[in-house]
Amino acid sequence: MEFSFGRRSTASAASRPIGSIPRTRFWIFFSVLARLGHASAKEKRRMIFRFLRAPHSMRAWFIDLHDICSRSRVDTIPFDLANKPARHFLCNNLRPAQRSHILAYHYDALLNVMGGQHVRDLIAGSHLTLADFVGRSGNHYELRLERSPLWSREGELTCRLLVQNDQVTVATTTFAIGPDQKDGHRCLWIGGLQGSAKHYGKTLTVHVTKDLFGLRPKDLLMHVIYALKESFDAAEIMTASNLGHASSRVYRARKWVADYDRYWIELGATPNGPYAFKLPAQLRRRSIDEVTPTKRGAWRARHVLLDKIVEDVRVMQRQYRKASVSCDTGDNG
């Protein structure tokens, strides 16, 4: 089975009644163009070229994007978001029609779960705080949910761990919400997992791991992803393999730094075709009996911290959902 999302749903904006479609599509197309954010002349030329290569998919995406922005009351549409189906993202075997479909599905799910206000904030470049906590050294850390062009090739939402004191990024994982290929149930699709910037090397990762009682940053992010899976009502988690990573074509002639396959297998994932892995229903935690007596104190502290972070993420997500219901009720009233 491949990392695929099938064809566009018949309920999408692209399949509305024929009535006044030509005029409506014409108006929507120019309405979206008029609301695009800043872009260089080079980026605009690339967008025109890509639009010509996949006109049907881009036109369908513009209709969906117009609906998304209307529901979330977005005034300025990020240029990279409008152009996204024409570029490789999430997995390199997706076609433009599949990419536009997953984006429409993703934002429909976000709007239903988080509401228009939070979706508007994310599209505008703001972040939502999922949790903040303190390490053993006294350093403050923060977990954010955001939409950033920095990791846009790997998905549409990024969960980022950073040192709050100096705003240094420790690790990120980027994902999108999409349908399963077979039965259409909701899945959380991970397109990438990144560490700190190159100039920090492994020093920062090692320091943070020690500061979190031996909890590796990427492991922390995966536990957060499982909490987000519950919040977004997803049935399972799928991940891109080395071959399926959106940048694998770019790095094919160079040294591949991150071995995604090895890490997913370490978590207990099973291959789902050449482009993806399926993660287990739950992450396995080592029992205290598997830990040497001299390290059991750190094991207990690590799991107390991890349980607190995951619970904080769940609480914040419930608050965001509750706030979205209140806002939507107020808008309707």
pLDDT at 277: 96
Q: Are 323 and 118 in contact (CB under 8 A)?
A: yes
Distance CA 158, CA 148 (A): 7
The pLDDT value recorded for residue 45 is 84
| One-character DSSP codes across 14-55 | GG--STTHHHHHHHHHHHHHHTB----HHHHHHHHHHHHHSH
Highest average pLDDT, of 6-15, 229-238, 317-326, comes from 229-238
Rounded average pLDDT over 103-108: 96
pLDDT tier, 5 (very low <50, low <70, confident <90, very high otherwise): low
Q: What is the pLDDT of residues 25-66, one digit of tens each?
A: 777 877 888 888 888 888 888 888 878 888 888 888 999 999
Of 241 and 48, which is predicted with more confidence? 241
**What are the tens digits of pLDDT across the range 259-284?**
899 999 999 999 999 999 999 999 98
Tell the residue number behind the tokens 């006109």, with chain if given: 55
163 in Cβ contact with 115 (< 8 Å): no
pLDDT exceeds cutoff 70 at 144 = yes
Q: How confident is the model at residue 12 (pLDDT cuts 50, 70, 90)?
A: very low
Q: pLDDT exceeding 90 applies to what percent of the chain?
A: 59
Give the pLDDT confidence score for residue 4 in this predicted structure.
54
Residue 13, pLDDT above cutoff 70: no
Stronger pLDDT, 177 or 290, i.e. the higher one: 177
Look up residue 267 and give its DSSP letter.
T
Range in 24-28, 42-46, 192-196, 204-208 the model is least confident about:
24-28
What pLDDT, on a 0 to 100 scale, did the predictor assign at position 211? 97
123 in Cβ contact with 74 (< 8 Å)? yes
Q: How confident is residue 99, by pLDDT bands cut at 50, 70 and 90?
A: very high
| pLDDT value of position 315 | 92
Residue 322's pLDDT band (cuts 50, 70, 90): low
Domains along the chain?
Answer: 22-113 (no CATH), 127-332 (3.40.630)
- Which tokens in the block code for residue 167? 């705003």
Cα(59)–Cα(30) distance, rounded to whole angstroms?
11
Q: Range with the lowest mean pLDDT among 55-64, 201-210, 321-330?
A: 321-330
Q: Are 305 and 95 in contact (CB under 8 A)?
A: no
pLDDT of residue 16: 44
Tokens encoding 266? 């370490």
- Please give the order of strands across the beta sheet that includes 157-163: 127-134, 140-146, 157-163, 168-179, 186-194, 236-240, 276-278, 270-271
Which pLDDT value is given to residue 1?
45
- The C-alpha atoms of residue 153 and residue 257 are separated, in whole angstroms, by 16
Residue 79, both tokens: 């240029």
Which run of H or E residues covers position 276? strand 276-278
Q: Which residues have a Cβ under 8 Å from the Cβ of 285 and sit 6 or more positions away?
A: 303
Tell me how crowded residue 19 is: count the other CB atoms within 10 A of its CB.
8
90 neighbors 191 (Cβ within 8 angstroms): yes
Two tokens, residue 3: 């990392």
pTM of the model: 0.87
pLDDT level of residue 255 (50, 70, 90 thresholds): low
Mean pLDDT (the chain, rounded): 86
pLDDT of res. 327: 58
Of residues 8, 155, 183, the one with CA closest to residue 84: 155
- Rounded Cα distance, 122 and 148, in Å: 9
* Distance set, CA 215 to CA 150, 234, 302 (Å): 25, 25, 6
